[in-house]
Each structure stands twice: as structure tokens, then as C-alpha cells.
Structure 1
Amino acid sequence: MPHATRPSTNESAFVLSALRENFRLDSRALDQYRPISLQFPSDPDVYGQTDVRIGKTRVICNVSCEVISPYPDRKFDGVFNISCELSPLIGAGVEIGRYEYQNQAELLLSRLLEKSIRRSNALDTESLCIIAGQKCFHVRADLHVLDHDGSILDACCLALVAALQHFRRPDYEVHGEQVTVFDVREREPVKLTLQHQPFCVTTSYYDAGTIMVQDATLLEEQCREGEIVMSMNRHGEVCQIAKYGGVPVDALSVLSVVKQSWEKVKMMDAVVREALSKDERDRDKGGRMKAELSAENERVMERPVG
């Protein structure tokens, strides 16, 4: 994950001393997340755009698709790609000015997201096939990190999963080898086929691995001695466990992280489901009105004359 310059010795000592007393600088519990905000576009013709905030961390995601030729070795599958971009102004002191470092941080984020979502077959790529070996949909997810105050991967994964559930691909018709793709105003677009919805939960370690903290702020991330990224779905199925260096962690600690992460994953899934339901209700206001008017017209036509 992107790191800033190391905090001062006094700052590090103060953060560690507070954690030893089960205190955090923002008064949260060690396993408590900051408020999560998820927003979708208000335009009824726009799908697949999300704006996620976890505390001061902010990520936007845009999902798009186009018709291309499939890979020669995967004639019955569509294509799904994930890219991540870090803004040069994501946080005070974060080393994003250097191109090599920025490229490395973006690559690490993209890899973790691909392992969590693409390699776990969260998106059914076979459903993106139009004509085997000739035409398929290429679904592309672009993530942009605007502000970084910790838990950047958790926010990116949540934004991506929500955007995939919100996105609608255009409908199409096939006549022989001729493919006709319809605009969203011509035909109702189609949801993507998601087999499960994985979320990422990052756990930070302090004091030689004896203290575990979830949803660490940027300052807490700068002081941590190690981290574990757990990717799970709401059914408790582990999709990925990633640990890049740091203090060693025993098996019992990993099992404890799995249990705690599952609770956070169910919380994130509930946030996404509630936001999707609200967005669907807001978009369906006109539809309900049209249905009511149509029903009223039918009643008027059925009334006996005279």
C-alpha cells in the first residue's frame, strides 16, 4: 500500500502507547470501522459509477464495457480488467510524486483486487460471450483514489463490488453473424452475472504482533509492523489471504482475523445492498407512476358506457 514518510518517534510512541491501552486517536474500538458512505449517480441513464468514502478515504469507480473479439484461448469467455490510479494529491506526505513508486503502488492495488474479484470468479465471464470466438463484452473497471487516510484497499474493493452490481450492460440481438447492440434508451440494459461479492478487510499489527487493528488511519498505517489482507464474501468463504512481510503471525491469530473480518464483510455487504435498494427505488419512481397511469387508463376503458 502507498506509504508516507515515517512519522516522528514521538508520534509513533504515542500511537503505540494508546493502542496498548486499547485507545485510538479517533476514539474508536480496535476493530471498529469508520462511517462508510456509498453513493451512485443521480442520472437514471448512468450505471456502474460509485463514490465510496471510509472516513476521509475516498475512492471513485467507473465500470464500462465494449464489444471486442475474445482471447483465442478463451473463445467462450468475455474479458474483465481492473485498473487503479492514485491521485498525486491523495494524502499529505504520501510518496506519489515519483513515477516508479506510484506505478508500483497502483500495480499492487490492481493485483490484490484482481486476486480478490477476478480470480475468484466473482464475475461470470462466460455470460459476457456474444458469439463464441468472434464477439464478446469487455468489462473494464477503473478506480481512482482521490483521498488516502487509511484502508485504501478496503475502499477500492467495496467501490468495485458495488459498481459491478450497479452496472448494466447493453442488450443485444444476434442474427447469424450480425450483432446489434441497443442503447439504454432503446432497450432495458442487463445486469452483470455475479456469482458472489467478495470484500477486502485489512488488519494491521503492532507491538510484535500482539495488537490487531482494523480500518487503520494513515498515521496508524505508518506506525504498524505488519498487515494481513483478508478477502471474503458474506457466506464466510475466504477468497484470498495476503501478507507482505512484517512481523510473523501464528495460525491462531489468522483464524481470529478470519472471524473478525467476516463480521466486517457482512457489514459492508449490508451497506451495498441498502444503497442499491435505495438507488433502485429512486430510479423506479417514474416507472411506478407510469404503471399507475396505465392501470388508471385501463380502468377508464373498462367502464360501461351510458
Structure 2
Amino acid sequence: MRETPLSNCEKHFLLKAIEEKKRLDGRQAYDYRNIKISFGTDYGCCTVCLGKTRVLAQVSCELVPPKDSRPTEGIMFFNLELSQMASPAFQPNRQSELLVTLNRQLERCLRNSKCIDTESLCVVSGEKVWQIRVDVHVLNHDGNLMDAASIAAISALSNFRRPDVAIQGRDITVFSPEERDPVPLSIYHMPICVSFAFFQQGTYLLVDPCEKEELVMDGLLVIAMNKHREICSIQSSGGIMLLKEQVLRCSKIASVKVSEITELINKALENDRRVRKEGGKFGFAESIPKERITALKREEAQVEMTDVQETAREILSKTEAPPEDVPSPVIVATGTGQVGEGLQNTWGLEEEDEEGVEDEMKSLVDGEKNKIPKKKDETMVISDSEEEEVVVLNPAALKSKNKRSRH
């Protein structure tokens, strides 16, 4: 399924708002959306919410043979998935252009920047090394997937712990977390991606574009940088020509944003480490706000009830008394008639029609009075039109006939 395009009215509205330095969610041009980082029960599981964009990162490891070109170094593998749960525009089991671009940018940001000491992942040179696999799943798409994926991946790697091993000759023993404490990864720095969207051929610049802003942008610039202001990777897309001053300006903005995000990641890692050490509750379930319905809790507000009677008396004293005689409302419904005082010609009849109706009623009454009653011995004639026969019934004759039949 393809993306639903924006209408001309929506495009014009978005571009007009950007010209006036306004955004749909009320942010300024260089503001990020709210970032929320939470860790799961297991080490190396992290979710990042960037506004409505939600990304899950899971880190795993296994012992594998090393590469022939680098026998003393471990292996880093990144996999990013776009499911239809995140957006109906994503097609399952298909390598889209967006998926390939995001995977390559993530590898440049984390693997090519040498942020992790891969030599510390070597167990036996030329035989066994640790392969670190990072799976990034997009749970909801609302723009700027690259920034959310990079934050989730580096946070999960910083929180991950690999099992401890012991070597005796050719034998390798892998200890469980209950036997020995797992070992954290050796991380040199934290590269984080910052995305810049350009509009009207680079005239206007926005940081952290949302989904609708990405649909109307002319170009995108992604800068991966650490808190030491070292650029790890930079990539431009969209076919827009940028000046040197524009790139330098974006790098200065990225250095400030990366410092803030790195501090936020360190605080989240420290909180998770402290809670695990104290034996408190941790995980995704604990990150749910307590005010939600699923938590079965709600806030109760105290109501002041001391001066209720005085307040009620004061309100009643100020109100006016209702009138004694209240006329009843007259409601005339469709198809009904109403007769009352002062109502003449209610039925909508003209005077001539009324006189005709009165004369007709008088004639009918006079006719009823002048009717002549029938005699008992009157003969009734019944005719049958089909057989053309006439039967004469005489009541006196019928009585005499009945007497004879009795005798």
C-alpha cells in the first residue's frame, strides 16, 4: 500500500505555516518533540517515544566464528523492520527504499563510527567471537524514524550485558546470569542522529520533522554526532543543493541537541541501574502512568462542605419568586383542531362553505323526522337480477303456513 498523498489545501496550509515560523504541534523551528526512554525487564531491551513515533530496540548476542579479515574482532549486526502495525504504507516482507536507507544510515552511525570496542568481543582469536545483533522495530510512525532508531539502538547497547565466559585450553564455558554477573559492552561514545528538513529550496529549516512535514519537504539532512562534537556521519537526500554555511549552521544546532539527548540517555540508564540495584520494580509495565484506567487508580479531589447551607440560603434569597398565575402554553400540533373563546372559523372554512354545510345538516335532520314507519303487514319484494325472478313475501301468509305445518 502506498502512502496517502496530501491534498493541495493541506500542502498550502503547511507551507504557509512554515513561512510564518509556526508548526502544527506548536513547536519552534529548532525544538524536538518530547523524548521518553524506558527499559525492559531484560538487559538490552529499550523503547523510545519521540512524540508519537515509537521504536523498540532489542540487543542479543551469540558465539560465532570471526571474519577471516578480522580474526580478533567481534561482529556487529543491525536489522531494522517496518511493519504494517506502524503505518499502513509499509509493505511486509519487502525491501522498500526507506528500509534500505534507514539500515544503511544506522550502520554508518553505530558500526562505522567505531563507538563499540569490537576487540573486547573476542573470546578465542580466530575461533570464537561475540556477535552483537541489534533488532530495531518501528511500532508507530509519525516522522523522523532515523533519530528515534539511533537513540533506541545506542540506549539498548548501553544497557546490554553479555554473559561472562571462562576459557580452559580449548574449552569455553559460558556462565548464566545466576552464576556470574553479566559483562557490559565497552562503549567509547554515543553517536546520535539529528535530522533537518528543508523547505522551498533551503529557505526554511526545521528540526525533527513530523510525518506531514516530511511529505512536503524538499530535502533532508541527517547528521550523526556525539557529545564531543565529532561528526560520525552525514547524509543529504532529496536532491537539494545546500551551501557550506547551511551545513555549518546545522552542525552547530546538532551539537546542542546531541548534548541534551546524551544527558537524557545517561539519566535513564542511571535510574534503571539504581532501581535494579535496590530491588525495586522496573520494566515497561512500571513506566505506564498511574492515572490510566488500567492502573485501577484515580485522583480524588477534596470538596469543601462547611458553608454549603449558608451558600444555598444566600443563592435562594437573591432569586426572584415565580408569578402566581402562569398561563398554560398552547401548542398546536399538525393535523389537530382547537376550539376556544375568541377563535372563529377554526377549521379554515369560508363563510359560504359553512352556510352550505349548515343547510345540508338541517335537511338531513328534517328527513329523519319525516320518515314514515313501515307497517307490519307490508309486503317485501326481493328481486334477483341474475335469474330475473320476483318473490313476494306476505307476512300473514307465512304465519298461516306455519300454523298448518304445526298441526
Query: Partner of 1:5: helix, strand, or coil?
Result: coil
Residue 273 of structure 2 is aligned to residue 280 of structure 1: yes
Residue among 202, 205, 209 paired with 1:216:
209
Q: Tell me the residue number matched to 1:16.
A: 15
CA distance in 2, matches of 1:195, 1:152: 24
For residues 59-98 of structure 1, what are the structure 2 equivalents within 5 Å?
59-91=55-87, 94=89, 96-97=90-91
For residues 182-197 of structure 1, what are the structure 2 equivalents within 5 Å?
182-197=175-190
Contact 1:172 1:181 in 2 (8 A): yes
Q: CA-atom RMSD, angstroms? A: 1.6
CA distance in 1, matches of 2:92, 2:279: 49
CA distance in 1, matches of 2:61, 2:32: 33
The amino acid across from 2:79 in the alignment is: S
Residue 153 of structure 1 deviates from its aligned partner by: 0.4
String of CA shifts for 1:260-286, please: whole Å, max 9, x gaps: 011111111011101001001100104
| CA shift in 2, pair 1:3/1:31, >3 Å | farther
Contact 2:83 2:91 in 1 (8 A): no
The amino acid across from 2:251 in the alignment is: V
Residue 72 of structure 1 deviates from its aligned partner by: 1.4
Residue 177 of structure 1 deviates from its aligned partner by: 1.3
Residue among 222, 226, 232 paired with 2:225:
232
CA distance in 1, matches of 2:2, 2:244: 27
Residue among 118, 123, 143 paired with 1:125:
118
Residue 91 of structure 1 deviates from its aligned partner by: 2.7
Gaps of 5+ in 1: 288-306
Normalised by the length of structure 2, the TM-score is 0.67
For residues 150-161 of structure 1, what are the structure 2 equivalents within 5 Å?
150-161=143-154
Q: Tell me the residue number matched to 1:116.
A: 109
The amino acid across from 1:70 in the alignment is: P
Query: Partner of 1:112: helix, strand, or coil?
Result: helix
| CA shift in 2, pair 1:147/1:286, >3 Å | closer
CA distance in 2, matches of 1:231, 1:72: 30
Query: Whose relative contact order is higher, 1 or 2, with alpha carbons under 8 Å and at least 6 apart?
Result: 1
Contact 2:83 2:92 in 1 (8 A): no
Q: Tell me the residue number matched to 1:29.
A: 28
CA distance in 2, matches of 1:170, 1:20: 54
Contact 2:84 2:92 in 1 (8 A): no
Residue 36 of structure 1 deviates from its aligned partner by: 0.3
Residue 260 of structure 2 is aligned to residue 267 of structure 1: yes
CA distance in 2, matches of 1:5, 1:229: 24
Residue 104 of structure 1 deviates from its aligned partner by: 2.9
CA distance in 2, matches of 1:35, 1:187: 38
Query: Partner of 1:243: helix, strand, or coil?
Result: strand
Q: Tell me the residue number matched to 1:39.
A: 38
Gaps of 5+ in 2: 281-407
Contact 1:40 1:50 in 2 (8 A): yes
Query: Partner of 2:237: helix, strand, or coil?
Result: coil
Q: Tell me the residue number matched to 1:56.
A: 52
Seq. identity, %: 38
String of CA shifts for 1:14-59, please: whole Å, max 9, x gaps: 1111111110011100110110010001x3xx10000100000000
Normalised by the length of structure 1, the TM-score is 0.89
Contact 1:3 1:222 in 2 (8 A): no
CA distance in 1, matches of 2:14, 2:234: 26
CA distance in 2, matches of 1:263, 1:3: 36
Larger radius of gyration: 2
The amino acid across from 1:61 in the alignment is: A
The aligned length equals 280
Query: Partner of 1:158: helix, strand, or coil?
Result: helix
Contact 1:169 1:192 in 2 (8 A): yes
| CA shift in 2, pair 1:161/1:3, >3 Å | farther
The amino acid across from 2:7 in the alignment is: S
